[in-house]
Amino acid sequence: MVVFIFSKEAKKTLQKLPIEVQERVQQKLFFFKNHPDIFSEAKPIHGRRPVTHRIRVGNYRLTLELSTAYPQYVHLIVFRIADIGHRKDIYS
């Protein structure tokens, strides 16, 4: 099972996006919540620590940090959504 936790910045950014984009982001996160292999879909990002992965939602990207704060839950993968942005702006 996958859990997503929004950072304050990501939550504010999501609320500023158009409603259609917000719904697409929510649908994508719901899809990944019970996905059997999240790491086949969430692409790794190299050299941008602490961000470890990204998810594509149309022209927007969600940058994720893989959390190791819950070692007692073996079957739980926790991602912190660090930022949300348009693909031309997110990596700069």
d(CA 52, CA 68): 12
pLDDT tens profile 63-75: 999 887 666 666 7
pLDDT digits (tens, 9 = 90+) for 6-37: 999 999 999 999 999 999 999 999 999 888 88
**Strand arrangement of the beta sheet that strand 60-67 belongs to:** 2-6, 77-86, 60-67, 53-57, 43-44
Look at residue 39 in the predicted model and tell me its pLDDT.
Answer: 85
Domains of the chain: 2-86 (3.30.2310.20)
pLDDT at site 72 = 61
Structure confidence at residue 70 (pLDDT): 61
Mean pLDDT of 58-66: 92
Average pLDDT over residues 31-57: 87
| pTM, two decimal places | 0.83
Please give the structure tokens belonging to residue 33: 């919540």
